[in-house]
Amino acid sequence: MADWKLEYTPLTFEEAVQFFREKVALTPAKFNELAQEWKLKAFTIAGIGKLDVLRDILEKLDQALAEGTTLQEFRQKANELLEKRGWDGLTPYRADNIFRTNIQTAYNVGRYRQMSDPDVLPRRPYWLYDAVNDRRTRPTHAALDGKAWRANDHFWDTWYPPNGYRCRCSVRSLSERDVKRLGLTIQEGIPAMVAPPGRPVQPLMPDPGWSFNPGKVSWQPDLAKYPPALQQAYARRQERGF
């Protein structure tokens, strides 16, 4: 019998990488001038006003997404860049917030593009909200865990994750057979109130600034439609090759 050797090679999440490479670095002042839907296309960090520094950190996040770099490796490389430029390094909490929020958003947008594919959606027309369910999970997110809606339900226009900074929730697509096997009742619309496990009933509201679906916002080639700050930043980004 021949000896078989299996080699596991990490696969790049192409849809997530593509989304992330559409982002452009902006100073916090310029970023705050944008309407909420345009902020998804921009990248900034509070307290860092130098574009060259922001671009360097954006590039390290892109590398992390494309190559599978860990949070610890990202923080180390980002801090080396910051310290060379005379800036204070990122604290563990700040690095975690920047890394997790950006990477998780890219992953969820990538999943949205996969699940919305015309060859996939008719076969798996239901989407299930999937929370991590540990002590860091927001109560309202835990209340949504395991519930399913049709993919075209307007619930997802507001509640497609991430639904806040450092949110780790995701979405899984389901077939008709999956729904029956799991015994799910398909929800409709956005419930006004939810009952988190072990907590009183409370209003269902995303974190401020997160009540939109990042997967529905796509980059269009006609830059004339976009705010001047994004037009200029995108042109500079193209000149740099990143």
Whole-model pTM: value is: 0.81
DSSP state, residue 175: -
Q: What are phi and psi of 23, to 5 degrees?
A: -75, 150
Kindly tell me if the per-residue pLDDT of 225 is higher than 80.
no
Kindly tell me if the per-residue pLDDT of 220 is higher than 60.
no
User: CB under 8 Å, gap of 24 or more: what pairs does 48-57 form?
Assistant: 48/87, 50/85, 51/25, 51/26, 51/27, 51/236, 52/85, 53/81, 53/82, 53/85, 53/87, 54/25, 54/26, 54/27, 55/25, 55/237, 55/240, 55/242, 56/81, 57/81, 57/82, 57/98
Output the pLDDT for position 221. Answer: 45
pLDDT single digits (tens) 89-132: 899 999 999 999 999 999 999 999 999 999 999 999 999 999 99
Do residues 47 and 57 touch, judged by C-beta distance below 8 A?
A: no
Output the pLDDT for position 10. Answer: 63
Which has the minimum average pLDDT: 11-25, 61-75, 144-158, 222-236?
222-236
β-strand 148-150 against 170-174: which pairing, if any?
unpaired
**Higher pLDDT pick, 15 / 242:** 15
